[in-house]
Amino acid sequence: MAPAFPSGDDWTNFGIGGRPNYKRFSFRDIVLRNRLTALVVDGVNFCRMVEEGFLRACGVETQGVDNGDAAVELIASGAKFDLIVIDMYLPILDGLETTRRIRAMGTRCKMVGVSASFSERDGQAFLAAGVDALSEKPLSPEILVPILRELDGQYSSI
């Protein structure tokens, strides 16, 4: 049985704060044709749960690790991913250095750098380290879904 919360439809019946109802961009909007895999690197457990949850809801096979060192070891062991979501601030090895090391190992997959907020300098540094895109937390469908569609489309065109 589904849990007790009012459904998304109930929510749209009410609207939020008097705003008119509108179609939200949702993880239900994507149906992947190919098998995609992702790694989430985030030191905050529940943030990682949320990020992994969103990816799985999109149909992506997802793993998570809570520090940069573990991410580097996983890639070094031969694990391959279509997408890596990586927090800028990580314990043990920070997000910038982790990204550099992952790229130095020849990993060419899409990498999305996340953070609570990005200063221009932080954002530039993260891009220079090797991420392809930046996203402020929380990782939203508006950002994830186009990336996943692009990755899915790359497989379909092979």
Considering only 37, 63, 69, 89, the residue that binds other proteins (CB under 8 A) is: 89
Note the residue count of the chain.
158
Q: Judged by CB under 8 A, does residue 157 bind other proteins?
A: no
Find how far residue 142's CA is from the centre of its chain: 11
Least Å distance, CB 28 to other proteins, is 7
d(CA 22, CA 74): 42
At 43, list the tokens.
């030191």
- In 3D space, the residue among 118, 129, 121 whose CA is nearest the CA of residue 84 turns out to be 129
Among 76, 79, 116, 128, binds other proteins (CB under 8 A): 116
Site size for other proteins (CB under 8 A): 39
> Which residues of this chain interact with other proteins, rule CB under 8 A?
1-8, 10-11, 13-14, 16-18, 24, 26-28, 44-47, 49-50, 53-54, 57, 59, 87, 89, 115-117, 136-138, 140-141
